[in-house]
Structure formats: structure tokens, C-alpha cells
């Protein structure tokens, strides 16, 4: 593996791509540490420490947002929203493609259609930025509106009528610049730029999590006062290795469906033979976890807000307790939503009828299965069974950090690296980037990262 990295550095084009990618990453991290105009950094730092301390639901949620923004929320930096509005817009557009025939037709037009869809995605990104930016700015002005505790001192300087619009403008512009930089990485660097920016933001919080683990081992207690011995640190490191290996298996796993091509002569070459179609175990990737978390965010804060009112009844208090991130009700609904969205994403993005028609047009067939509708039924059944296994695996991976957080009082920031969205994104992006590096090396007759076989990106290539 070290030889492969050395060979990559010796190739001029590949070296330039790596340096360009590194430069963009430095710019993104720099923007994630510059506070927005009008923010009081000292007051904000004290408030974040108060909110993230303990095991409160709001603390866990704030820690999660801070993780994906690479610490930008803690500083209320220019990149507070990061690249997530673009991801949200892309998901919405992808879900609308099967619903609106105009979008589906546009996707079939080739490169021109994809460019138009990308433009629509950017327009939607601006709208999402304005909405989320306004919510974040209003939260700085009055955190109690989101169910967070009131700060001991104002978090911003000046008038709210000036602070809010300026903050929305600055955050929106930064997100759009991040989106453009991500596209530049994709075109002129290595890996998928947007995914790589998210991964770098997540990895940037890893040293803080490691330091916190070591600090707990030295002190012998967690921030909540639970016992934490050095042997538990060793066990957690072993668990991390096992969970990471399981995540790689989930990301790379697929079922091979044999495909037989009809032999025919094209020019002087004989075309045809046997191949296979890979059906990915985790076809939806991290989408079910993102959908489930986004939906449960609303009732979680609604119940917290209602329970904080002076005249709140016992029902609201019980609901707020049950739907905390370490509550039983939250975990049950969260798991059911992950299972539901896993099948929903496959049903909207995997079209067995179209695949069967394409196979029939190309003169290919599945051995033992008649072309046409029987092939579509077979693919639908096979994909449903594969998705069922993958969804259960994904469910276990998503709930494991919550189990550590609720049962062993491991801080939420640390627990997030033992599964869930963060680990799936890191593993998927690293595998995808290494796959692209390996492709560049093999094209120039260098040995890849593996002596036998090859890495597959998230596309399953």
C-alpha cells in the first residue's frame, strides 16, 4: 500500500491532482474557523460548553451538528452550514426525478440534461441555505425558540434586524462557494469533491474525540460521572476496529446476478460471453439515516419546547423524555424509519422494468429466467431480499452509537465515530477516493493498493 502511495506521488498529473485537492481542503477548513460578523466568540464558546455538557438531548444534537460542520457551529463560522444544504437539495431533486416525468426525461438527455438538473439543484441549494441560515441566525438571537437554554450573556453584538440578514447572506455565500470548490475537486482533483468536504469536516473532529477518550481514561470518569477505566478504552478501540470492518463489508457487499450475453460478431471481434450484475447490499447508503434523523428532529424539539413551558402537562414531559436521543421511543421510531426509508429509496431509484428492457435490447438474459417481465420480477424479488438484509445491518450500525451514549454514558461526540452516518460517510468516501487513485495507477501500469482484486467505489464499479 505504501508503494502505491509513493507511485501516485511520482506521477506528475496525479501529484498535481492531490495537491489541488489538499489546497481546497485547507481553504474549506480555514473558512470553518472564521466567525461570522457580529458574533461574540467568548459568549458563544461558553454557551456551547453549557449546551453540550451532560447527557441532554439538546447537547447530543448540538454535538452532532458540530460534527458535520467540522466545528464551525461552535465558532458560528462562515461555514456553519457547510455543504449540507447542497446535499439536502440533491436528495430532494433525486426523489423528484421518478415523480415528475419532465425531470426523468431531462436525465435521459445525456450531458445537457444533467447540467440543467445540476443548475436546478444549485437554485434549490440557495433556497435551503436561506431557510436554514435564517433558523441558525434566529437561534443565535433567541436560542430558547429551539428548546435550548437561555444564554447567560448575548451571543451577538448589535441589532437583530441587522445581524440576521447579514448572517444569512454570509452563510449562504459561503455554502455556495463550498459547492463550487467541491465541483472543482471532482473535475481537477481526486474523489467526489462534495463528499470529500463532508468527510474532512467529520475527520477534523476525530482528534477531539480521541483526546476526550484519553482524558476520561486518565480521570476514570465520563463527563456524566460514570466510571471509565483504561481497560474500557482498550475495549472501545477493539470495538471501533470491528465496527469499521463491518461498515466496509456493508459498503462493499453485493449479490452477483449472472448475465449471459448473446454472442455476435461486431467487425472482426466476437462480442458476448458471461458477466454479472451487482446488486448492492446497502443500495441507499446513508440516505435512510439522514431521512430518519431529519424527520425526528421536528418532534424531538417540539416536545422539548412544550415541556419547557410553565403550564406543561405531564404528557408533554413524558413525551419529551421518551423522544430524547437516548430515549426508548426515539430509538424505536428511528429504527422503523431507517427500515422504511431503505426500501423507499430502493423503490424510487432501482427500476427493474427498465433494467429488464435494457437487457432485452442488448440481447442479454439471466440464465433460467425468461426475458421481459419475468426478468423484472426476478430482479425486484432479489433486490428486496438483499435490501432487507442490508437494512437490518444499517439499522444496527445506526443505533450502536446511541447504545453507547445511553448505556455507557460515552459522550455523544465520541460515540458518533462508532457507527451511524459519520462512519458510513468516512468509509464510503475513503473507499471511493482510493478506488479512483487505483484506477489512475493501473492505467499507467502501476500496481494498485491490493495485490489481488480491486477496490470498488460507492457506485459499485
Model pTM score:
0.78
The x, y and z cell numbers of residue 2, run together, are: 505504501
Three-state DSSP class for 223? coil
Question: Residue 57: its pLDDT value, please?
Answer: 41
Ordered alpha helix ranges (H), 189-253: 193-203, 206-219, 230-252
DSSP conformational letter for 15? H
Burial of 220 (0-12, 13-18, 19+ CB in 10 A): exposed
Question: Residue 212: its pLDDT value, please?
Answer: 85
Give the H/E segment covering residue 106.
Answer: helix 101-107
CA distance 52 to 221: 17
Closest by CA to 414, choosing from 80, 331, 44, 423, is 423
Q: Is the separation of the CB atoms in 174 and 35 below 8 Å?
A: no
Identify the segments of the chain with pLDDT beneath 50: 54-60, 460-461
The x, y and z cell numbers of residue 184, run together, are: 472543482
DSSP conformational letter for 279? E
Question: Residue 296: its pLDDT value, please?
Answer: 78
Q: CATH for 16-204?
A: 1.10.3370.10
What number of other Cβ atoms are within 10 A of residue 324's Cβ? 22
> Hey, what's the torsion of the CAs at 108, 109, 113, 117, to 10 degrees?
-20
Q: Is the separation of the CB atoms in 16 and 24 below 8 Å?
A: no
Helix 328-349 to helix 373-407 angle, to the nearest 10 degrees? Answer: 160
Q: Is the separation of the CB atoms in 251 and 226 below 8 Å?
A: no
Question: Residue 2: its pLDDT value, please?
Answer: 64
Write down the domain spans for the chain. 16-204
Amino acid at each position: 500500500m505504501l508503494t502505491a502511495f509513493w507511485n501516485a506521488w511520482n506521477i506528475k498529473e496525479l501529484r498535481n491532482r492531490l495537491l489541488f485537492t489538499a489546497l481546497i481542503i485547507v481553504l474549506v477548513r480555514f473558512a470553518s474557523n472564521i466567525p461570522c460578523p457580529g458574533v461574540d466568540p467568548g459568549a458563544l464558546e461558553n454557551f456551547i460548553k453549557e449546551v453540550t455538557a451532560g447527557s441532554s438531548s439538546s447537547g447530543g444534537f448540538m454535538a452532532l451538528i458540530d460534527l458535520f460542520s467540522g466545528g464551525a457551529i461552535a465558532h458560528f463560522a462562515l461555514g456553519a452550514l457547510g455543504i449540507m444544504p447542497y446535499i439536502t437539495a440533491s436528495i430532494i431533486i433525486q426523489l423528484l426525478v421518478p415523480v415528475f416525468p419532465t425531470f426523468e426525461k431531462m436525465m435521459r438527455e445525456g450531458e445537457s440534461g444533467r447540467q440543467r438538473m445540476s443548475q436546478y439543484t444549485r437554485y434549490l441549494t440557495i433556497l435551503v441555505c436561506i431557510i436554514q441560515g435564517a433558523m441558525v441566525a434566529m437561534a443565535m438571537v433567541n436560542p430558547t425558540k429551539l428548546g435550548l437554554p437561555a444564554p447567560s450573556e448575548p451571543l451577538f453584538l448589535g441589532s437583530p434586524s441587522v445581524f440576521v440578514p447579514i448572517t444569512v447572506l454570509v452563510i449562504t455565500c459561503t455554502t455556495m462557494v463550498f459547492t463550487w470548490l467541491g465541483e472543482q475537486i471532482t473535475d481537477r482533483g481526486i474523489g467526489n469533491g462534495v463528499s470529500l468536504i463532508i468527510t474532512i469536516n467529520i475527520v477534523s473532529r476525530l482528534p477531539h474525540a480521541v483526546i476526550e477518550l484519553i482524558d476520561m481514561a486518565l480521570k476514570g470518569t465520563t463527563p456524566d460521572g460514570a466510571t471509565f477505566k483504561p481497560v474500557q478504552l482498550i475495549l472501545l478501540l477493539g470495538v471501533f476496529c470491528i465496527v469499521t470492518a463491518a461498515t466496509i463489508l456493508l459498503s462493499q457487499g453485493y449479490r452477483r446476478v449472472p448475465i449471459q450475453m448473446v454472442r455476435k460478431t461486431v467487425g472482426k471481434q466476437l462480442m458476448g460471453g458471461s458477466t454479472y450484475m451487482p446488486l448492492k447490499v446497502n443500495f441507499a447508503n446513508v440516505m435512510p439515516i439522514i431521512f430518519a434523523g431529519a424527520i425526528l428532529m421536528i418532534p424531538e424539539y417540539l416536545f422539548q419546547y412544550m415541556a419547557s413551558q410553565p403550564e406543561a402537562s405531564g404528557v408533554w414531559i413524558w413525551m419529551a423524555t421518551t423522544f430524547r436521543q437516548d430515549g426508548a421511543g426515539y430509538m424505536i421510531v428511528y429504527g422503523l424509519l431507517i427500515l422504511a426509508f431503505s426500501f423507499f429509496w430502493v423503490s424510487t431509484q432501482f427500476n427493474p422494468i427498465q433494467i429488464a428492457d435494457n437487457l432485452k435490447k442488448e440481447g442479454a438474459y439471466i440464465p433460467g429466467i425468461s426475458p421481459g417481465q419475468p426478468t423484472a420480477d426476478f430482479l425486484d424479488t432479489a433486490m428486496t431480499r438483499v435490501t432487507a438484509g442490508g437494512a437490518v445491518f444499517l439499522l444496527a450500525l445506526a443505533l450502536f452509537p446511541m447504545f453507547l451514549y445511553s448505556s455507557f454514558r460515552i459522550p455523544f461526540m465520541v460515540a458518533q465515530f462508532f457507527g451511524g452516518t459519520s462512519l458510513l460517510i468516512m468509509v464510503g468516501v475513503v473507499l471511493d477516493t482510493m478506488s479512483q487513485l487505483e484506477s489512475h495507477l493501473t492505467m499507467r501500469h502501476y500496481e494498485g493498493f491490493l495485490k489481488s482484486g480491486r477496490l470498488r467505489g460507492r457506485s459499485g464499479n
